[in-house]
Amino acid sequence: MHDAPAGVLTDIYGEEEYWDDLRRVTGGQTDEALARMTIRASAALPAWMNTHGVKFQPSLTGTLSLGRTNAFFLGGGKALVNAYFAAAERIGVKILYDTEVTGLVMQDGTVRAVTAVSRGFPLTLRARSVVVASGGFQANIEWLRDYWGKAANNFIIRGTPFAQGTVLKDLLAQGVQQVGDATQCHAVAIDARAPKFDGGIVTRLDCVPFSIVVDRTGQRFYDEGEDVWPKRYAIWGRLVAQCADQIAYAVIDSKARSLFMPSVFPAITAMSIAELAVQLGIDPHALEATVARYNHAVQPGQFDPNRLDDCRTVGLTPPKTHWAQTIDTPPFIGYPLRPGITFTYLGVRVNERAEVLMQDGKPAANLWASGEIMAGNILGKGYLAGFGMTIGTVFGRIAGAQAARHARN
Amino acid sequence: MLEIKAVSTETMAESQRIMEICNACRYCEGLCAVFPAMTLHREFSSTDLGHLANLCHNCKGCYYACQYAPPHPFGVNVPATFALLRDETYRDHVWPRPLAQAFERNGTIVGIVTAVGFTTVLFLLGLLSAPGTLSHAWIGPDAFYRVIPWAAMAITASVTLLFSLLALFIGGRSYWLVSGTKRRVPLRAIRAGLHDAATLTNLGGGGYGCNESDAAFSMTRRYLHHAMAYGFLLCFAATTTASFYAYALHWPAPYPWFSLPVLLGSLGGVGLIIGTFGLMALKFTADRAPAARVLAGSDFALLALLFLSAASGILLLLLRNSAAMGILLGVHLGFILSLFILLPYSKFVHGIYRTLALIRAAADRDMRKTN
């Protein structure tokens, strides 16, 4: 949030608009008090991050209208984490690398010990204060299968393979209050050719609003032009996950080619729709019919990729409500899409002091949480670009300060 | 003119693969000139890649920021790959062409040429000078020319230097024809490119410096390179003023301590010594992962040669009134002769191509802005 242009951020992004955006994407699955506190605290984050070595840069080339709402850090997430590790080491924090926490030993709402495996050796740590920031369970395909069945086998995990949810599962089994829907995860439609884990940002495809998206049978299934991409890309993973075999195909023509950032994988191109369908493995007649129906329904309008324009279809189900241009100029281009899982929503409940709450509603004596493991308190559904970082940074600061105060007393 | 090659070498193919990954990520855009220049392309030809590689100042910021760097299976390593690709462009544009092999084992070549140049000067000195000349403590005007005749010194220096400057010019021209821009370059873009080259803005990692041994940023390398580069220019200025004094004003060397040539030369020499020594020391402590190991010899050889040239010059200045002057003069001129010969066939050429790449990048930026 910023009430005036600040650093790399342009214009104004005030509390009410931010809250409005959040309420809309979560469909009300949020905690207003925690959410507003987070939004207000976000205004101070760029300066704090800066003093801890994080550098910002102007909005990246090719990102859609994000300069107002999102501050990009220079070098991306790894550079951010490098800066934080360096800052922590400077003030004498000892960091154990190649170490996995396997569980917390809890007794009457107090953490007595933390068990871990460090460089292959078992380790027991005792501490006055414990902060968990161990993320969700999105890389645990077996756990995902509990809710998604066999479909989970076709999910691609966008980030680290280490997000196994070990600590989360352990805490929920020891009387910590749960928050968020266990069956839900943030899923984006990404290039189907991505590696199973850690493909990251380069596997994303921003072409959906300028395309039509069809399933394996060549049929459209959702309004591709519903809203600007930053506010819509998070629903497309789920949409593709619901398709047969969890696969879909975005189809554009050469007019749309340079309107979005390319994914790292080469575009699949052909001089006719039928030929493209063959390359994608779709029935050519079905795809031709879908494209013809769509082209027929496209209305004339003033095309503008940077705002909700008036290019739409009429008499088509489902409709395409913005950026609808005919697909008629070869070469035609296709990209295969699969659900890319970013994070899961299941977490531990916390209060405004980042204290982890037990099932009886009382806070645990010496346990705080930050990041994805508690983000479900505020973000119960959907996503706002950069909001995971915001929650993590706001609650990381609170949890750190509270834990330090408790340890010192 | 060189034909524009399809992506041919292994390094070229690897550069292409990496740039396609980077172009889909773009989080390094604020780090240096390479990534904004990259976003102008959707596909990368070998000439685009050559341009991007020569724009890279090897600050390594992107390596430490990169989530796709090893051990990620994508194994993205921009600094090491671009260092190798730059070296290939040096070979492509060297003049005369057969000397491309000089970049094959450049460290060894530089070492051998230096050794030969240096011993030849000393040998001729011993052979041609009258007995006792070398060990005599000459003082006063013309002292240097008592040891090495003025004509021999002047002719050797100007012939080798002029040839090298010609070779550098032809190489730079060849590079520009392939990796430059076909559009007219506005004056302000030339000014911007020269400014970036002179300030090493791009060794700033977005304003915070380079990475050396780990993810921490430091301005050390930028400042050391400044000491070396400006030291080199000051020495060059010293030589030029001295020539002017000698030939136009008929005031032969050696010059007094507070004369312009000696002041410029001493300042430049000290800068060169600090810069080259510091840069060599940095290479020992630097992280090897983002470095192209096969090029270490080339890097070290030029640094060492510059260091020896400067150090022998300073020593000559300090001991010029002693009996050691004769030998020291021979040693110093031996190094200088080797340096002159090697300018177009050593890492020195990076300065030319880098500057041209920066000018093209500035011109591209300019065009993007005015469109």
CA distances from A230 to A18, A69, A131, A233 (A): 14, 10, 31, 6
Q: Where are the domains of chain A?
A: 96-184+355-408, 188-340
Given pLDDT bands bounded at 50, 70 and 90, which one contains residue A62? low
* Chain-chain contact of B42 with A77 (C-beta, under 8 angstroms): no
- Partners of A162 on chain B (C-beta within 8 Å) are none
- Partners of B207 on chain A (C-beta within 8 Å) are 55
Residues B306 and B221 in one domain: yes
Given pLDDT bands bounded at 50, 70 and 90, which one contains residue B3? very low
pLDDT for residue B371: 63
Residues B101 and B69 in one domain: no
Helix, coil or strand: residue B250:
coil
Q: Which of residues 187-216 of B touch A (CB under 8 A)?
A: 206-208, 215-216
Residue A2 phi/psi, 5-degree rounding, is: -150, 135
Q: Count of domains in chain B?
A: 2
Helix, coil or strand: residue A248:
strand
Question: CB contact, 8 Å: B18 with chain A?
Answer: no
Residues B151 and B41 in one domain: no
Dig out the tokens for B123 from the structure. Answer: 């040998």
* 3 state SS for A252-318: ECHHHHHHCCCCCCCCEEECCHHHHHHHHCCCHHHHHHHHHHHHHHECCCCCCCCCCCCCCECCCCC
Neighbours of A162 (CB within 10 A): 12
Residues B156 and B83 in one domain: no
Query: From the CA of A353, how many Å to the nearest CA of chain B?
Result: 32
CA B353 to chain centre: 10
DSSP H or E stretch at residue B211: strand B210-211
Q: Where are the beta strands (DSSP E) in A130-245?
A: 130-132, 156-157, 178-179, 185-191, 212-215
Residues B199 and B123 in one domain: yes
Residues B230 and B128 in one domain: yes
Q: Residues A288, A46: contact at Cβ < 8 Å? A: no
Neighbours of A244 (CB within 10 A): 10
Asked which of B94, B111, B134 is the last residue of a domain, the reply is B94
pLDDT (mean) for A293-301: 96
> How do the residues of chain A divide into helix, strand and coil, expressed in percent and rounded to 5?
35, 20, 45
Q: Which of residues 292-351 of A touch B (CB under 8 A)?
A: none
- Partners of B65 on chain A (C-beta within 8 Å) are 74-76, 78-79, 82
- Partners of A204 on chain B (C-beta within 8 Å) are 24
Parallel, antiparallel or unpaired: strands A332-344 and A156-157: parallel
**DSSP letters of B322-348?**
STTHHHHHHHHHHHHHHHHHHGGGSGG
For the stretch A274-279, contacts whose Cβ atoms lie closer than 8 Å and that sit 24 or more positions apart, written own/partner, are A275/A332, A276/A251, A276/A332, A276/A333, A276/A334, A277/A218, A279/A334
Which residue of B26, B27, B72 is in closest CB contact with A198? B72
Question: Tokens 């000696």 — which residue?
Answer: B262
Dig out the tokens for A390 from the structure. Answer: 């915001």
pLDDT (mean) for B172-176: 96
Is the model's pLDDT at A158 over the cut of 80? yes
Is the model's pLDDT at A61 over the cut of 70? no
Closest CA to B5 of B55, B52, B50: B50
Dig out the tokens for A223 from the structure. Answer: 């309004």
Nearest CA in chain A to B22: A202
* 3 state SS for A102-162: EEEEEECCEEEEEEEEECCEEEEECCCCEEECCCCCCCCHHHHHHHHHHHHHHCEECCCCC
* Chain-chain contact of A262 with B42 (C-beta, under 8 angstroms): yes
User: Which ipTM score applies to this complex?
Assistant: 0.85
| B371 within some domain | no
User: What's domain A96-184+355-408's superfamily in CATH?
Assistant: FAD/NAD(P)-binding domain (3.50.50.60)
Q: Residues A282, A249: contact at Cβ < 8 Å? A: yes
Instruction: Select the more confidently predicted residue: A357 or B149.
Output: A357
* Chain-chain contact of A57 with B25 (C-beta, under 8 angstroms): no
* Chain-chain contact of A75 with B21 (C-beta, under 8 angstroms): no
CA B10 to chain centre: 25
Dig out the tokens for B358 from the structure. Answer: 């920066």
CA atoms within 13 A on the CB side of A18: 26
Output the pTM of the full model: 0.89
Encode pLDDT of A26-38 as tens digits. Answer: 889 999 999 999 9
State the Cα–Cα distance between residues B203 and B279, nearest whole angstrom.
Answer: 14
**DSSP letters of B151-206?**
HHHHHHHHHHHHHHHHHHHHHHHHHHHHHS-SSPPPHHHHHHHHHHHHHTGGGGTT
Is the model's pLDDT at B7 over the cut of 70? no
* Chain-chain contact of A60 with B26 (C-beta, under 8 angstroms): yes
Q: What is the DSSP letter of A201?
A: G
Residues 6+ apart with CB under 8 A from B120: B334
| B3 within some domain | no
Question: CB contact, 8 Å: B140 with chain A?
Answer: no
Domain containing residue B180: 97-363
Q: What is the DSSP letter of B307?
A: H
Parallel, antiparallel or unpaired: strands A178-179 and A268-270: unpaired
Helix, coil or strand: residue A37:
helix
Is the model's pLDDT at B6 over the cut of 70? no
Neighbours of A407 (CB within 10 A): 12
Nearest CA in chain B to A260: B24
Q: Residues A313, A319: contact at Cβ < 8 Å? A: yes
- Partners of B27 on chain A (C-beta within 8 Å) are 60, 72, 74-77, 79, 201
Residues B156 and B32 in one domain: no
pLDDT for residue A67: 77
Is the model's pLDDT at A265 over the cut of 50? yes
Which runs of consecutive H residues, i.e. helices, occur in B200-295?
220-243, 260-285
* Chain-chain contact of B21 with A202 (C-beta, under 8 angstroms): yes
Is the model's pLDDT at B144 over the cut of 90? no
Averaged pLDDT of chain A = 93
Residues B47 and B118 in one domain: no
Q: Residues B147, B330: contact at Cβ < 8 Å? A: yes
| B167 within some domain | yes
pLDDT for residue B1: 36
| B368 within some domain | no
Percent of chain A residues topping a pLDDT of 90? 80
Query: From the CA of A206, how many Å to the nearest CA of chain B?
Result: 11
CA A170 to chain centre: 24
Preceding omega of B96 cis (within 30 degrees of 0): yes
| B116 within some domain | yes
Q: Residues A202, A387: contact at Cβ < 8 Å? A: no
Residues B18 and B140 in one domain: no
Preceding omega of B290 cis (within 30 degrees of 0): no
Given pLDDT bands bounded at 50, 70 and 90, which one contains residue B156? confident
Residues B112 and B132 in one domain: yes
Is the model's pLDDT at A224 over the cut of 90? yes
pLDDT for residue B5: 44
State the Cα–Cα distance between residues A35 and A390, nearest whole angstrom.
Answer: 11
Is the model's pLDDT at B66 over the cut of 50? yes
Residues B77 and B162 in one domain: no
* Chain-chain contact of A86 with B216 (C-beta, under 8 angstroms): yes
Residues B59 and B184 in one domain: no
Is the model's pLDDT at A76 over the cut of 90? no
Parallel, antiparallel or unpaired: strands A130-132 and A363-369: parallel
Give the residues across from A367 on adjacent strands: A130
Given pLDDT bands bounded at 50, 70 and 90, which one contains residue A287? very high
Given pLDDT bands bounded at 50, 70 and 90, which one contains residue B92? very high
Question: Tokens 């380079």 — which residue?
Answer: B210
Which residue of A62, A86, A195 is in closest CB contact with B26? A62
Query: From the CA of B23, how many Å to the nearest CA of chain A?
Result: 8
Q: Residues A322, A308: contact at Cβ < 8 Å? A: yes
Considering the four listed CATH numbers 3.90.110.10, 3.40.50.300, 3.90.700.10, 3.60.21.10, the one that applies to the domain covering A188-340 is: 3.90.700.10
Asked which of B94, B113, B138 is the last residue of a domain, the reply is B94
| B4 within some domain | no
Query: From the CA of A350, how many Å to the nearest CA of chain B?
Result: 31
Radius of gyration of chain B (CA): 22
Nearest CA in chain A to B65: A79
Asked which of B71, B94, B117 is the last residue of a domain, the reply is B94
